[in-house]
Chain A
Amino acid sequence: MPNNDDVLKLLESADWNNIIVQLTRYASWHASWYKWKTGGYGQLPGGMTPEDIAKNAIKKVWSGTRSWDPEKYPDLLIHLQWIVDSDLNHLFNSKEHLTTNRIIESDEEESKELTYNNLIHNSSSLNEAIHYKTPEEDLIIQEIKGREEKAQKELYAMVKGDEDLELLLSCFEEGIDKPELIAKEMGWDVTKVYTLKRKLLRKATAIMKIMEQD
Protein backbone atom coordinates (compact mmCIF):
# COMPACT_ATOMS: atom_id res chain seq x y z
CA MET A 1 0.00 0.00 0.00
CA PRO A 2 1.54 3.35 -0.99
CA ASN A 3 1.69 6.09 1.61
CA ASN A 4 -1.18 8.52 2.13
CA ASP A 5 0.68 11.38 0.52
CA ASP A 6 1.15 9.46 -2.75
CA VAL A 7 -2.50 8.39 -2.81
CA LEU A 8 -3.62 11.95 -2.12
CA LYS A 9 -1.45 13.29 -4.94
CA LEU A 10 -2.83 10.69 -7.35
CA LEU A 11 -6.41 11.43 -6.31
CA GLU A 12 -5.88 15.17 -6.58
CA SER A 13 -4.35 14.86 -10.04
CA ALA A 14 -7.02 12.49 -11.40
CA ASP A 15 -9.15 13.75 -14.28
CA TRP A 16 -12.39 14.00 -12.28
CA ASN A 17 -14.35 15.73 -15.04
CA ASN A 18 -13.76 12.74 -17.26
CA ILE A 19 -14.20 10.20 -14.45
CA ILE A 20 -17.60 11.54 -13.37
CA VAL A 21 -18.89 11.39 -16.95
CA GLN A 22 -17.73 7.80 -17.44
CA LEU A 23 -18.80 6.67 -13.99
CA THR A 24 -22.27 8.18 -14.26
CA ARG A 25 -22.80 6.47 -17.62
CA TYR A 26 -21.64 3.23 -16.07
CA ALA A 27 -24.01 3.69 -13.10
CA SER A 28 -26.86 4.59 -15.41
CA TRP A 29 -26.55 1.57 -17.72
CA HIS A 30 -25.92 -0.85 -14.88
CA ALA A 31 -28.78 0.56 -12.83
CA SER A 32 -31.06 0.04 -15.84
CA TRP A 33 -29.88 -3.51 -16.08
CA TYR A 34 -30.46 -4.12 -12.37
CA LYS A 35 -33.94 -2.61 -12.63
CA TRP A 36 -34.71 -4.69 -15.69
CA LYS A 37 -33.39 -7.84 -14.04
CA THR A 38 -35.39 -7.38 -10.85
CA GLY A 39 -38.49 -6.18 -12.65
CA GLY A 40 -38.31 -2.84 -10.87
CA TYR A 41 -39.14 0.08 -13.09
CA GLY A 42 -38.99 3.82 -12.76
CA GLN A 43 -36.79 5.15 -9.98
CA LEU A 44 -34.01 3.31 -8.20
CA PRO A 45 -34.70 2.13 -4.64
CA GLY A 46 -34.72 4.96 -2.16
CA GLY A 47 -35.23 7.53 -4.92
CA MET A 48 -31.54 7.34 -5.81
CA THR A 49 -30.35 8.40 -9.26
CA PRO A 50 -27.35 7.13 -11.25
CA GLU A 51 -25.71 10.49 -10.49
CA ASP A 52 -26.13 9.85 -6.74
CA ILE A 53 -24.65 6.38 -7.08
CA ALA A 54 -21.61 7.70 -8.98
CA LYS A 55 -21.02 10.63 -6.61
CA ASN A 56 -21.37 8.41 -3.54
CA ALA A 57 -18.73 6.06 -4.94
CA ILE A 58 -16.33 9.00 -5.28
CA LYS A 59 -17.14 10.19 -1.76
CA LYS A 60 -16.37 6.72 -0.43
CA VAL A 61 -12.92 6.75 -2.00
CA TRP A 62 -12.14 10.16 -0.49
CA SER A 63 -13.49 9.32 2.95
CA GLY A 64 -11.62 6.02 3.05
CA THR A 65 -14.80 3.92 3.34
CA ARG A 66 -13.66 2.31 0.11
CA SER A 67 -10.06 3.38 0.04
CA TRP A 68 -8.09 3.02 -3.14
CA ASP A 69 -4.81 1.13 -3.36
CA PRO A 70 -3.20 2.27 -6.64
CA GLU A 71 -0.48 -0.39 -6.40
CA LYS A 72 -3.01 -3.20 -6.28
CA TYR A 73 -5.65 -1.60 -8.53
CA PRO A 74 -3.95 0.98 -10.76
CA ASP A 75 -7.10 2.00 -12.65
CA LEU A 76 -9.07 4.37 -10.44
CA LEU A 77 -12.12 4.21 -12.73
CA ILE A 78 -12.29 0.41 -12.42
CA HIS A 79 -12.08 0.76 -8.64
CA LEU A 80 -14.97 3.26 -8.71
CA GLN A 81 -17.00 1.00 -11.00
CA TRP A 82 -16.52 -1.80 -8.53
CA ILE A 83 -17.92 0.46 -5.78
CA VAL A 84 -20.89 1.38 -8.00
CA ASP A 85 -21.66 -2.30 -8.62
CA SER A 86 -21.26 -3.11 -4.96
CA ASP A 87 -23.66 -0.30 -4.02
CA LEU A 88 -26.20 -1.27 -6.70
CA ASN A 89 -25.96 -4.84 -5.49
CA HIS A 90 -26.62 -3.65 -1.95
CA LEU A 91 -29.53 -1.47 -3.05
CA PHE A 92 -31.25 -4.24 -4.96
CA ASN A 93 -30.51 -7.02 -2.53
CA SER A 94 -31.49 -5.41 0.74
CA LYS A 95 -34.21 -7.58 2.19
CA GLU A 96 -36.15 -4.54 3.25
CA HIS A 97 -36.13 -3.29 -0.31
CA LEU A 98 -37.33 -6.64 -1.60
CA THR A 99 -40.29 -6.59 0.76
CA THR A 100 -41.08 -2.91 1.19
CA ASN A 101 -39.31 -1.23 -1.72
CA ARG A 102 -37.32 0.86 0.79
CA ILE A 103 -33.59 0.72 1.20
CA ILE A 104 -31.70 0.07 4.41
CA GLU A 105 -28.45 1.67 5.46
CA SER A 106 -26.28 -1.16 6.63
CA ASP A 107 -22.64 -1.83 7.35
CA GLU A 108 -23.16 -5.41 6.29
CA GLU A 109 -22.60 -4.57 2.65
CA GLU A 110 -19.04 -5.91 2.94
CA SER A 111 -20.38 -9.42 3.28
CA LYS A 112 -22.52 -9.11 0.19
CA GLU A 113 -20.27 -7.08 -2.02
CA LEU A 114 -19.02 -8.21 -5.39
CA THR A 115 -15.39 -9.08 -5.53
CA TYR A 116 -13.12 -6.71 -7.34
CA ASN A 117 -11.79 -9.52 -9.51
CA ASN A 118 -15.31 -10.38 -10.61
CA LEU A 119 -15.71 -6.91 -11.99
CA ILE A 120 -12.31 -6.77 -13.64
CA HIS A 121 -12.70 -10.14 -15.30
CA ASN A 122 -16.35 -9.42 -15.92
CA SER A 123 -17.41 -12.92 -15.00
CA SER A 124 -21.11 -12.37 -14.89
CA SER A 125 -20.72 -10.42 -11.70
CA LEU A 126 -24.12 -8.82 -11.91
CA ASN A 127 -25.80 -12.18 -12.31
CA GLU A 128 -24.13 -13.36 -9.16
CA ALA A 129 -25.26 -10.26 -7.37
CA ILE A 130 -28.92 -11.15 -7.48
CA HIS A 131 -29.70 -14.16 -5.38
CA TYR A 132 -32.84 -16.17 -5.81
CA LYS A 133 -33.84 -18.88 -3.45
CA THR A 134 -35.98 -21.94 -3.97
CA PRO A 135 -38.90 -22.67 -4.24
CA GLU A 136 -39.72 -19.51 -6.24
CA GLU A 137 -36.37 -19.76 -8.01
CA ASP A 138 -37.56 -21.56 -11.14
CA LEU A 139 -40.54 -19.30 -11.48
CA ILE A 140 -38.39 -16.20 -11.28
CA ILE A 141 -35.88 -17.62 -13.77
CA GLN A 142 -38.69 -18.38 -16.19
CA GLU A 143 -40.06 -14.89 -15.75
CA ILE A 144 -36.67 -13.35 -16.45
CA LYS A 145 -36.20 -15.58 -19.49
CA GLY A 146 -39.57 -14.53 -20.80
CA ARG A 147 -38.72 -10.87 -20.36
CA GLU A 148 -35.31 -11.41 -21.93
CA GLU A 149 -36.84 -13.05 -24.99
CA LYS A 150 -39.28 -10.16 -25.31
CA ALA A 151 -36.52 -7.56 -24.96
CA GLN A 152 -34.30 -9.39 -27.43
CA LYS A 153 -37.11 -9.53 -29.95
CA GLU A 154 -37.69 -5.80 -29.61
CA LEU A 155 -34.00 -5.02 -29.91
CA TYR A 156 -33.64 -7.12 -33.04
CA ALA A 157 -36.71 -5.38 -34.47
CA MET A 158 -35.10 -2.05 -33.65
CA VAL A 159 -31.96 -2.83 -35.70
CA LYS A 160 -33.76 -4.76 -38.43
CA GLY A 161 -32.12 -4.29 -41.83
CA ASP A 162 -28.73 -3.43 -40.36
CA GLU A 163 -26.89 -6.71 -40.70
CA ASP A 164 -23.85 -5.61 -38.66
CA LEU A 165 -25.95 -4.51 -35.68
CA GLU A 166 -27.86 -7.78 -35.88
CA LEU A 167 -24.55 -9.66 -35.75
CA LEU A 168 -23.47 -7.53 -32.81
CA LEU A 169 -26.63 -8.52 -30.93
CA SER A 170 -25.94 -12.15 -31.76
CA CYS A 171 -22.60 -11.81 -29.96
CA PHE A 172 -24.47 -10.68 -26.83
CA GLU A 173 -26.59 -13.81 -27.16
CA GLU A 174 -23.36 -15.80 -26.96
CA GLY A 175 -22.31 -13.90 -23.86
CA ILE A 176 -19.60 -11.92 -25.68
CA ASP A 177 -19.48 -8.22 -24.83
CA LYS A 178 -15.82 -7.14 -25.06
CA PRO A 179 -15.01 -5.22 -28.28
CA GLU A 180 -11.80 -7.20 -28.90
CA LEU A 181 -13.62 -10.53 -28.52
CA ILE A 182 -16.52 -9.40 -30.67
CA ALA A 183 -14.06 -8.32 -33.39
CA LYS A 184 -12.29 -11.67 -33.17
CA GLU A 185 -15.55 -13.62 -33.24
CA MET A 186 -16.86 -11.72 -36.25
CA GLY A 187 -13.57 -11.33 -38.08
CA TRP A 188 -13.91 -7.55 -37.91
CA ASP A 189 -11.44 -4.82 -37.11
CA VAL A 190 -12.07 -3.56 -33.59
CA THR A 191 -12.72 -0.05 -34.94
CA LYS A 192 -15.78 -1.46 -36.67
CA VAL A 193 -17.09 -2.58 -33.28
CA TYR A 194 -16.57 0.96 -31.96
CA THR A 195 -18.47 2.38 -34.92
CA LEU A 196 -21.32 -0.02 -34.20
CA LYS A 197 -21.26 0.99 -30.55
CA ARG A 198 -21.69 4.63 -31.56
CA LYS A 199 -24.51 3.60 -33.88
CA LEU A 200 -26.21 1.70 -31.08
CA LEU A 201 -25.64 4.61 -28.72
CA ARG A 202 -27.75 6.80 -30.99
CA LYS A 203 -30.59 4.41 -30.20
CA ALA A 204 -29.90 4.62 -26.45
CA THR A 205 -33.26 6.17 -25.61
CA ALA A 206 -35.09 3.41 -27.42
CA ILE A 207 -32.93 0.76 -25.74
CA MET A 208 -33.55 2.25 -22.31
CA LYS A 209 -37.25 2.31 -23.11
CA ILE A 210 -37.16 -1.40 -23.92
CA MET A 211 -35.34 -2.01 -20.62
CA GLU A 212 -37.97 -0.02 -18.78
CA GLN A 213 -40.91 -1.98 -20.16
CA ASP A 214 -42.68 -4.62 -18.15
Chain B
Amino acid sequence: MPKDMQKKEFMECLSNFMSDPEGLTQEDLMADLAEQKIDVNQLKIDVAQIVKRGSEEMRLGWKRRAKQRMGEIKKLFEITKSIPDTAINIKDKMGEFIKDNYGLGAFKLVEAYFRNKGTLSEQDIMSLLEDLEQLESLGKIRPKKDL
Protein backbone atom coordinates (compact mmCIF):
# COMPACT_ATOMS: atom_id res chain seq x y z
CA MET B 1 0.00 0.00 0.00
CA PRO B 2 1.56 3.31 -1.02
CA LYS B 3 2.14 5.85 1.72
CA ASP B 4 -0.17 8.49 0.30
CA MET B 5 -3.08 6.03 0.37
CA GLN B 6 -2.82 5.49 4.13
CA LYS B 7 -4.58 8.65 5.32
CA LYS B 8 -8.33 8.42 5.64
CA GLU B 9 -9.69 10.33 2.70
CA PHE B 10 -12.37 12.96 2.45
CA MET B 11 -14.88 10.72 0.71
CA GLU B 12 -14.31 7.88 3.12
CA CYS B 13 -14.88 10.24 6.04
CA LEU B 14 -18.07 11.46 4.40
CA SER B 15 -19.29 7.90 3.92
CA ASN B 16 -18.40 6.88 7.50
CA PHE B 17 -20.06 9.98 8.92
CA MET B 18 -23.24 9.57 6.91
CA SER B 19 -23.60 5.83 7.53
CA ASP B 20 -23.16 6.16 11.29
CA PRO B 21 -26.62 6.30 12.93
CA GLU B 22 -25.27 8.12 16.00
CA GLY B 23 -27.33 11.22 16.69
CA LEU B 24 -30.05 10.30 14.19
CA THR B 25 -33.62 9.40 15.04
CA GLN B 26 -35.48 6.39 13.66
CA GLU B 27 -37.41 8.82 11.44
CA ASP B 28 -34.16 10.21 10.04
CA LEU B 29 -32.97 6.71 9.20
CA MET B 30 -36.24 5.71 7.58
CA ALA B 31 -36.35 8.93 5.58
CA ASP B 32 -32.81 8.29 4.33
CA LEU B 33 -33.71 4.80 3.14
CA ALA B 34 -36.93 6.04 1.54
CA GLU B 35 -34.86 8.69 -0.23
CA GLN B 36 -32.71 5.90 -1.62
CA LYS B 37 -35.89 4.10 -2.77
CA ILE B 38 -35.35 1.21 -0.38
CA ASP B 39 -38.55 -0.49 0.76
CA VAL B 40 -38.15 -0.67 4.54
CA ASN B 41 -41.33 -2.70 5.10
CA GLN B 42 -40.14 -5.38 2.71
CA LEU B 43 -36.75 -5.38 4.43
CA LYS B 44 -38.42 -5.99 7.79
CA ILE B 45 -40.48 -8.87 6.37
CA ASP B 46 -37.36 -10.41 4.82
CA VAL B 47 -35.31 -10.14 7.98
CA ALA B 48 -38.11 -11.65 10.08
CA GLN B 49 -38.04 -14.68 7.77
CA ILE B 50 -34.25 -14.95 8.00
CA VAL B 51 -34.44 -14.83 11.79
CA LYS B 52 -37.23 -17.42 11.96
CA ARG B 53 -35.44 -19.83 9.63
CA GLY B 54 -32.07 -19.26 11.30
CA SER B 55 -33.51 -19.88 14.74
CA GLU B 56 -35.23 -23.10 13.64
CA GLU B 57 -32.11 -24.40 11.93
CA MET B 58 -29.93 -23.60 14.93
CA ARG B 59 -32.22 -25.58 17.22
CA LEU B 60 -32.50 -28.46 14.73
CA GLY B 61 -28.71 -28.57 14.52
CA TRP B 62 -28.46 -29.24 18.25
CA LYS B 63 -31.08 -31.95 18.08
CA ARG B 64 -29.23 -33.58 15.19
CA ARG B 65 -25.97 -33.54 17.12
CA ALA B 66 -27.60 -34.93 20.26
CA LYS B 67 -29.27 -37.68 18.27
CA GLN B 68 -26.01 -38.59 16.61
CA ARG B 69 -24.26 -38.80 19.97
CA MET B 70 -27.00 -40.93 21.47
CA GLY B 71 -26.54 -43.27 18.50
CA GLU B 72 -22.84 -43.54 19.34
CA ILE B 73 -23.66 -44.30 22.96
CA LYS B 74 -26.06 -47.05 21.97
CA LYS B 75 -23.39 -48.51 19.69
CA LEU B 76 -20.97 -48.57 22.63
CA PHE B 77 -23.50 -50.53 24.66
CA GLU B 78 -23.84 -53.06 21.88
CA ILE B 79 -20.05 -53.55 21.92
CA THR B 80 -19.82 -53.91 25.68
CA LYS B 81 -22.69 -56.39 25.66
CA SER B 82 -20.82 -58.65 23.26
CA ILE B 83 -17.70 -58.73 25.47
CA PRO B 84 -17.75 -60.79 28.68
CA ASP B 85 -17.85 -58.62 31.80
CA THR B 86 -14.65 -60.16 33.09
CA ALA B 87 -12.73 -59.00 30.02
CA ILE B 88 -13.69 -55.36 30.18
CA ASN B 89 -13.94 -52.69 32.80
CA ILE B 90 -17.16 -51.03 31.71
CA LYS B 91 -16.78 -48.19 34.18
CA ASP B 92 -13.37 -47.23 32.76
CA LYS B 93 -14.62 -47.58 29.20
CA MET B 94 -17.58 -45.34 29.95
CA GLY B 95 -15.29 -42.83 31.65
CA GLU B 96 -13.04 -42.72 28.59
CA PHE B 97 -15.98 -42.32 26.26
CA ILE B 98 -17.45 -39.50 28.32
CA LYS B 99 -14.11 -37.71 28.56
CA ASP B 100 -13.69 -37.93 24.78
CA ASN B 101 -17.20 -36.84 23.93
CA TYR B 102 -18.13 -34.44 26.68
CA GLY B 103 -14.82 -33.22 28.07
CA LEU B 104 -13.09 -33.23 31.41
CA GLY B 105 -15.86 -31.32 33.21
CA ALA B 106 -18.41 -33.98 32.40
CA PHE B 107 -15.95 -36.73 33.28
CA LYS B 108 -15.56 -35.33 36.78
CA LEU B 109 -19.32 -35.29 37.23
CA VAL B 110 -19.51 -38.88 36.12
CA GLU B 111 -16.67 -39.93 38.42
CA ALA B 112 -18.61 -38.54 41.35
CA TYR B 113 -21.70 -40.35 40.08
CA PHE B 114 -19.83 -43.66 39.95
CA ARG B 115 -18.35 -43.06 43.39
CA ASN B 116 -21.72 -42.47 45.00
CA LYS B 117 -23.35 -45.46 43.38
CA GLY B 118 -21.86 -48.80 44.32
CA THR B 119 -23.46 -50.69 41.47
CA LEU B 120 -24.79 -49.48 38.14
CA SER B 121 -27.43 -50.92 35.89
CA GLU B 122 -27.49 -50.29 32.15
CA GLN B 123 -30.53 -48.11 32.76
CA ASP B 124 -28.57 -46.01 35.29
CA ILE B 125 -25.86 -45.37 32.72
CA MET B 126 -28.39 -44.50 30.02
CA SER B 127 -30.08 -41.98 32.33
CA LEU B 128 -26.72 -40.51 33.22
CA LEU B 129 -25.84 -40.04 29.55
CA GLU B 130 -29.22 -38.52 28.81
CA ASP B 131 -28.65 -36.08 31.69
CA LEU B 132 -25.26 -35.23 30.22
CA GLU B 133 -26.85 -34.58 26.80
CA GLN B 134 -29.34 -32.22 28.37
CA LEU B 135 -26.69 -30.47 30.43
CA GLU B 136 -24.53 -30.02 27.38
CA SER B 137 -27.34 -28.62 25.26
CA LEU B 138 -28.03 -26.15 28.05
CA GLY B 139 -24.37 -25.23 28.08
CA LYS B 140 -23.74 -26.37 31.67
CA ILE B 141 -20.85 -28.54 30.55
CA ARG B 142 -18.58 -28.03 27.60
CA PRO B 143 -17.62 -30.45 24.88
CA LYS B 144 -13.97 -31.51 24.79
CA LYS B 145 -13.10 -29.27 21.83
CA ASP B 146 -13.93 -26.15 23.86
CA LEU B 147 -11.64 -27.05 26.76
Q: Could you tell me the distance between the alpha carbons of A145 and B10 in the complex, rounded to whole angstroms?
A: 10
B55 interface residue, CB < 8 Å from A?
A: yes
Q: Which residues of B contact A3 (CB under 8 A)?
A: 138-139, 142
Q: Could you tell me the distance between the alpha carbons of A151 and B12 in the complex, rounded to whole angstroms?
A: 12
Q: Which residues of B contact A126 (CB under 8 A)?
A: 12, 15
- Count of CB-CB pairs between chains A and B under 8 Å: 180
Contact A18 B26 (CB under 8 A): yes
Contact A204 B36 (CB under 8 A): yes
Contact A12 B9 (CB under 8 A): no
- B21 nearest CB across to chain A (Å): 5
Q: Pick from A22, A24, A169: contact of B38, CB below 8 A.
A: A24
Q: Which residues of A contact B122 (CB under 8 A)?
A: none
Contact A26 B19 (CB under 8 A): yes
Q: Pick from A8, A16, A124: contact of B58, CB below 8 A.
A: A8
In this complex, how many residues of chain A approach chain B with their Cβ under 8 Å: the count is 71
Q: Pick from A4, A8, A12, A172: contact of B14, CB below 8 A.
A: A172
CB closest residue in chain A, given B31? A201
Contact A172 B47 (CB under 8 A): no
* CB-CB contacts below 8 Å: A170-214 with B: 171-173, 175-177, 179, 190-191, 193-194, 197-198, 200-201, 204-205, 207-208, 211
- Tell me the interface secondary structure of chain A in the complex: helix
- Tell me the interface secondary structure of chain B in the complex: helix
Contact A172 B50 (CB under 8 A): no
Q: Which residues of B contact A26 (CB under 8 A)?
A: 19
B35 interface residue, CB < 8 Å from A?
A: yes
Task: Report which residue of A127, A169, A172 has the largest number of chain B beta carbons within 10 angstroms of its beta carbon.
Answer: A172
Contact B40 A21 (CB under 8 A): yes
Q: Could you tell me the distance between the alpha carbons of A131 and B8 in the complex, rounded to whole angstroms?
A: 15
Q: Which residues of B contact A200 (CB under 8 A)?
A: 17-18
Q: Which residues of B contact A198 (CB under 8 A)?
A: 23-24, 28
B13 interface residue, CB < 8 Å from A?
A: yes
Contact B17 A2 (CB under 8 A): no
Contact A4 B47 (CB under 8 A): no
* CB-CB contacts below 8 Å: B125-147 with A: 137-139, 142, 146
Contact B13 A201 (CB under 8 A): no
B81 interface residue, CB < 8 Å from A?
A: no
Q: Could you tell me the distance between the alpha carbons of A6 and B62 in the complex, rounded to whole angstroms?
A: 13
Q: Pick from A25, A127, A152, A172: contact of B19, CB below 8 A.
A: A25
B89 interface residue, CB < 8 Å from A?
A: no
Q: Pick from A6, A21, A24, A205: contact of B26, CB below 8 A.
A: A21
Contact A1 B146 (CB under 8 A): yes
Q: Could you tell me the distance between the alpha carbons of A191 and B146 in the complex, rounded to whole angstroms?
A: 46
- B141 nearest CB across to chain A (Å): 9
Q: A3-B139, A148-B11 are in contact. List 5 more A-B contacts (CB 8 A).
A: A1-B146, A20-B47, A21-B26, A25-B32, A127-B1
